[in-house]
Structure 1
Amino acid sequence: MSLEDVRRRLPIVTSLPRPDNRWSSDRKVAEAKGPRWAVWELTLACDQKCAHCGPRAGRRRPDELTTEECLRVVDELRELGAGEVVLIGGEAYLRNDFILIIRAIREAGMSCTMTTGGLNLTRERAQAMVEAGISSVNLSIDGLEVTHDRLRGVPGSWRRALEAMEHLRAAGAKVASNTQINAMTRGELLPLLEILADHGIHSWQLQITVPHGNAADNPEIILQPYMFLELFATLEQVLERCAARGVRVWPGNSLGYFGPLERRLRQSQGRHWKGCTAGRAVIGIESDGAIKSCPSLGGPLNTGGSWREHGLAKIWSETYQLGYIRHRTLDDLWGYCRECYYASTCMAGCTAAAEPVFGRPGNNPFCHHRAMMMDRQGLRERIEQVRGASGAGFDNGLFRLIREHKDPALRAQHGPVAIEAPRVSRAVEPTGPGRPIALDEL
């Protein structure tokens, strides 16, 4: 069915219900009985070849949900209490029925946003999205033109993403952007902000590239932990310019934690990082109906089951995989994170950032506070890949962490101060810190 045929199926309405969103409820995350928001991969089909893609998108999954099944998922999300649904891919617009799903989400009283690379987000698609009731569209733009095109694997993709932004604005949509911060993009944030602000974004989501999926095959693009000192100095300038340009910064869960910019980064005096939201405030849905605790986590340890077999409510409330983050304790942390002053609140930051490094969550080197503490001791940390990834979606290699003197002369003279090995996965030891893996075991 063509996009035009699908558009004809949209009922003509004069208004849609005022939508909830992920923040409209006053529930505390710990008290929530269901997710505040869902991130839903409508299809794994994609028109780009991103070097950092977690699910290794390209071709659609073999048995993706039908239109009718998707509409039933919408009903169950509302029953579960979700306030917002974020449509992702792959590329969601490569399913022509995506506008029917947008309309169903809005008619159910939920906010519907979409994250897209925008390569083939045409004027017609933009108009159809607005007709369906899209709440906001988030364009993925990583760095300036040369860097973005290289990371996205398609020449011209940067310009076409900006054109998509203009198509959306002309159709009446609100537009935002999101950017992967990595070794290639970290120096381009300030000039990129000015371009994005000129194109009318209302908010900008920033997150670090984590070493899973395609990024596990390109470890050179991953930020080293010691780079967080320079990165957050840049982010301080970014926050000042965003305030001047009227752009709100949304830090991704992978960006933090507890440094001097924490409150400004989260843009509220009462806000600070309160722990991973996987299976607590968010639910991930893959295009074949696999239900996950987080859209950025993969594998059987993070997938609670098939929607087709069990439905959303049962998977959310009864499975170990969806409840892991809710029930873990300080005894599941290890390394620096276990001894950190903020351990009981932070719980080692973003699971999707930590697990792909060491093979299990509980110790997260991607932390501003940690980098600052190391710097005060004259030390720095870096990660080194010791095993590659398998080639599956959201798979990861393994890294070891090297703690060393920040002074090059002392580094050369004394070598590493300490080395932390990767750990066995939760499949081997479901709880606790897990035992270290020796290099000869890899």
Structure 2
Amino acid sequence: MSIAQVNGERQATPQRLRTVQDRRLHVPVHVVWEITLACNLKCGHCGSRAGKRRANELSTAECIDVVRQLAAAGTREITLIGGEAYLRRDWLEIAAEIARLGILCSVQTGARGLTKERIAAAYAAGVRAIGVSVDGLRDLHDSLRGVSGSHDQAIRAIENIRAVGIEPGVNTQINALSMPQLPQIFDEIVAAGARSWQVQLTVAMGNAVDNAALLLQPHQIIEVVDCLARLYHKGRDIGFRLLPGNSIGYFGRHEPHWRSLTSNIEHWTGCNAGETTLGLEADGTIKSCPSLPKSHYSAGGTRSTPIEDALRNLESRTVRRDGNRGRSFCGSCYYWNTCQGGCTWVSHVLESKRGDNPYCYYRATTLAKRGLRERIVKVAEAPDQPFAVGRFEVRLERADGSRAPRSLGLDDKRRKRGRLVLCRSCDEYIYAAERACPHCGAAHGPETAADETFRREIQTSIDEVERHGRRILEIAGMAGGDIPARE
């Protein structure tokens, strides 16, 4: 496994890091697999409406065959989900086969009933990453998850996972109720021993459509991202990693800091659904992404369609090949040719098609400078089915809430193509061919990739010195003494 330098420490390159060749060959690098829809929670925001197992879930033998097909296709990580994955009796057998074939096996869980014994058995089977859902402080989490005591069980699971020898992660859905609690959630999960925190938006699918008051309004993404960026830097100082999910972003002043999985400075490059990511349902349905509805994004089922054929079936539906030119602000956006409208899931669930994503940091901040904001309004309910979507209208408003014409809600910077680099003045991404930064107006000469890397290495070194300085002050404070002045 290759090694990268992160904050001066040697770290293994993440399994789900995509290469140019992965994208060109459509290698399913990361597969998220719902192995059962059975669940012991009653989440008011659950997109899959989990609860009861599907009537025709794959057999153990069929699951083992799927694992072997994925290994042959080049998959490097499989995340087992549900429902609740460990409610399936043969989940450890499936996990063991994944690990035996050299694929990283991870699990995402609500953790109700995830005992020490189950965690130890998972580790013995080869599970090496477990993410626990924590969606708020105790009262809010229990309310969202529909079961009293589920919060305490989740926190206890984090502690037990770490005790077994796995570095625990946490996942949090951000909605109108959890947004104000993000700093407190950060402190709570760090204290419990979590080492990473993936955050994503509660998206308008399934139960969340029924409870639409939970959904963030698009203009609130500014407050959310600014808060998360502060927590990202706070976490970095203590060796804790905040990971923005595919629904969080995009571009703006925070983008250079938190998107990369390695020490390289990277940015959002578009949705990977069906390209290097696959989703599987418990009945064998193969989808571009685990969150997307199969009505639009299914490539068949594993009982009749080999994984290799399914990947070919999905090629024309990836963001780089589906011909979508974007709508509204996204259709006019400076970053469209790189971003392609952000997360397909977020945009599709609103209007049953992708290409117009109002939950975009760059979009929201650009509109805010003009005194404009966007709001979503539900106009149709979702059917009572897993992964069902309703219909929402995206409205452009002035600050006083009055409607504004859509013509005012377009980007004022022309679409461009090419390689993105950082502006030397404002640290926002711009296209390398620009003579002047479209964001701050500063003159921009040609900058090589080596120039950018060197500049970021200097900044990383400065950050590291500052981090150690703060740590020295903390140690001195705990010791009750003063740091002697240098002569």
TM-score scaled by structure 2? 0.78
Match of 1:117 in 2: 110
1:244 Cα deviation (Å)?
A: 2.3
Over 3 Å counting, the alpha-carbon distance change for 1:419 and 1:56 in structure 2 is farther
Note if contact 1:299-1:395 (Cα within 8 Å) is conserved in structure 2.
no
Aligned length: 394
Distance between the aligned counterparts of 1:292 and 1:123, measured in 2? 33
Q: CA 1:221–1:251 in structure 2 vs 1: closer, same or farther (change >3 Å)? A: same
1:328 aligns with 2:328: no
Q: Distance in 2 between matches of 1:302 and 1:318?
A: 10
Quick one: which of 102, 105, 111 aligns to 2:98?
105
Find the partner of 2:15 among 11, 21, 45: 21
Does residue 1:165 correspond to 2:165, yes or no? Answer: no
State the shift of 1:257 in Å: 0.3
Alignment partner of 1:418 is 2:405: yes
Q: Pairwise mapping of residues 20-419 of structure 1 onto structure 2 (< 5 A)?
A: 21-23=15-17, 26-267=19-260, 270-319=265-314, 323-331=317-325, 333-406=326-399, 408=400, 411=401, 415-418=402-405
Q: Cα deviations across residues 130-151 of structure 1 (Å, max 9, x unaligned)?
A: 1111111000110111111111
Larger Rg: 2
Q: Do the aligned partners of 2:287 and 2:294 also contact (CA within 8 Å) in 1?
A: no
Deviates more, 1:29-38 or 1:40-49: 29-38
Task: Check conservation: 1:20, 1:110, Cα contact below 8 A.
Answer: no
Q: Which moved more, 1:33-42 or 1:282-291?
A: 33-42
Aligned with 1:258: secondary structure? coil
Change (3 A) 1:340 1:358: same
Give the C-alpha shift of residue 270 in structure 1.
2.5
Residue 210 of structure 1 and its aligned partner are, at CA, apart by 0.6
Q: Shift of residue 123 of structure 1?
A: 1.4
Amino acid at match of 2:305: H
- Cα deviation 1:277-328 (Å, max 9, x = unaligned): 10011000101100000001013211111100112111111346x7443412
TM superposition shift of 1:30: 2.9
**Alpha-carbon separation, structure 2, partners of 1:260 and 1:19:** 26
Aligned partner of 1:390: which letter?
P
Partner of 2:460: none
Identity of aligned residues (%): 39
State the match for 2:422 in structure 1. none
Q: Which runs of 5+ in 2 are unaligned?
A: 1-11, 408-487
Residue 271 of structure 1 and its aligned partner are, at CA, apart by 0.9
Encode CA deviations 1:101-148: one digit per residue, 9 max, x unaligned.
111111101100000000010111111001111111000110111111
Deviation string for 1:152-180 (max 9, x for gaps)? 11111000011122222222222101100
Q: Please tell me the residue identity of whatever aligns with 1:110.
A: I
Alpha-carbon separation, structure 1, partners of 2:67 and 2:20: 21
1:179-211 Cα distance to aligned partner (Å, 9 max, x none): 001101111111111111112212110101110
Deviations 1:406-433 (A, max 9, x none): 1x3xx4xxx201369xxxxxxxxxxxxx
Q: CA deviation at 1:19?
A: 11
Structure 2 CA distance for partners of 1:392 and 1:328, relative to 1, 3 Å: same
CA contact (8 A) 2:161 2:168 kept: yes
Paired with 1:263 and 1:281, the residues of 2 have a C-alpha distance of 23
Unaligned runs of 5+ in 1: 1-17, 421-442
Rounded Cα–Cα distance in structure 2 between residues aligned with 1:75 and 1:276? 26
